[in-house]
Amino acid sequence: MEKSIFYHAGCPVCISAEQDIVNLIGEGNVQIIHIGEDRSKILTAENSGVKSVPALVTPSGNVLHINFGASIEDVKG
């Protein structure tokens, strides 16, 4: 299976969701990207349709926005 990508920004909601996602789909099946630390990935995330973090982009390209930590605009600011 292709990997999903989990985008987050280090917020408590993000960390909690990350743990859940890793437990559910398996650590080997998900790449984790911290867009607060790796800011070059903010545009990649946006281009994938990510509007807020935490979010999971599935191998089929769908975006699952999980709970609500921060909007992409807030991470940029």
13-34 burial code (b ≥16 CB/10 A, e <16):
bbeebbeebeeebeeeebebbb
Determine the length of the chain: 77
* DSSP type of residue 5: E
Q: Is 60 in the site for its own copies (CB under 8 A)?
A: yes
Q: Is 44 in the site for its own copies (CB under 8 A)?
A: no
Q: Is 31 in the site for its own copies (CB under 8 A)?
A: no
**26 or 38, CB closer to its own copies?**
26
Q: Which residues bind its own copies (CB under 8 A)?
A: 4, 16-17, 20-21, 23-25, 29, 56, 58-60, 62-68
